[in-house]
Amino acid sequence: MDYRFLILLVVVMAVLLLRCTRWKTEPTTRPITVTLAVLALVIVLHLPGVIGDRWLHDHTPEFLDFANWTNLLADLLMTALAGFSGALVARAWRLERLVPLIAAVTLVAAVSLIFVWQASDASQVATPHIGDLGGAATWYTVLSASAITLAGLMICASVVLATNMPWRLRLALIPMAAASAAGAAIGLMHLAGALTHPGQPFTDPSPATFTGTMGVACYAVSGLLDHVVRRNVPSTREEQREPAATVHC
């Protein structure tokens, strides 16, 4: 593991522990904490030494295929995060009736990912990018890239569109919004590549690990700033009681 990523992981863990001190007293701080934890785990699963790992595949019965299980797990986490973020935005705009629909769509997307992963060569052939296998695996990339794009857009929208948010808090969350927008853009590139050139290797504009690491770093910065700003904004606790404010914390 690269020592720079190891340092970042230590910093992220420290920020998470710091934020957990308000887990019970300020429930509206939980979404950022959960999101940061999930993204950190996704990046770990996408490390060169982890992604495409065959350990589980090689230590299970022959009739069970688990190649690329780390890739699948990371994409399932991103799918869940997209649904989680969508539900937050829906509640923020008092559209609670959409939450069950969002949950259902998220579940269908997750089941579809597992089905396509099993139906294609992805469960048998280890590869950094499942879509490069072509065939049914192309639809895996379509689903996973859509989840990444939606997660990025929802998180960015939660910062840009949230109401009743103190300006200091909005500024603190700008790094997170910027990283989410960049993640959505990369997801769109993957989606476009899968639809226009199915089965062909996709070249990221920058290394996936670097992009993801920078994204997690931005989230960690926002997580820390958000924690600090809340101590200096007296009105934060009162505003957190407003449904529209729950989207941003």
Digit-by-digit pLDDT tens for the chain (249 residues) are: 567 778 888 899 999 999 999 898 888 889 889 999 998 888 888 776 665 555 555 655 554 566 677 888 888 998 998 899 888 888 878 888 999 999 999 999 999 999 988 887 777 776 767 777 777 788 888 988 898 898 888 888 878 877 677 888 888 999 999 999 988 998 898 888 888 877 666 665 555 555 677 888 999 999 999 988 887 765 444 444 433 334 444
Whether residue 159 contacts residue 148, with contact meaning beta carbons closer than 8 Å, is answered with no
Predicted local confidence at residue 190, as pLDDT: 84
Predicted local confidence at residue 198, as pLDDT: 73
Range list of β-strands (E), the chain: none
What's the rounded Cα separation, in Å, for the pair 159 and 98?
20
Predicted local confidence at residue 196, as pLDDT: 83
Tokens of 67: 């190649």
Residue pointed to by tokens 């529209």: 244
Residue pointed to by tokens 């996973």: 144
**CB-count exposure of residue 152 (10 Å: 0-12, 13-18, 19+):** buried
Predicted local confidence at residue 245, as pLDDT: 39
Cβ within 8 Å of residue 122, ≥6 positions away? 67, 68, 71, 72, 116, 130, 133, 137, 140
Topology of domain 3-248 in CATH is Rhopdopsin 7-helix transmembrane proteins (1.20.1070)
Cβ within 8 Å of residue 196, ≥6 positions away? none
Predicted local confidence at residue 241, as pLDDT: 42
What's the rounded Cα separation, in Å, for the pair 127 and 53?
9
Cβ within 8 Å of residue 7, ≥6 positions away? none
DSSP state of 61: -
What's the rounded Cα separation, in Å, for the pair 124 and 178?
36
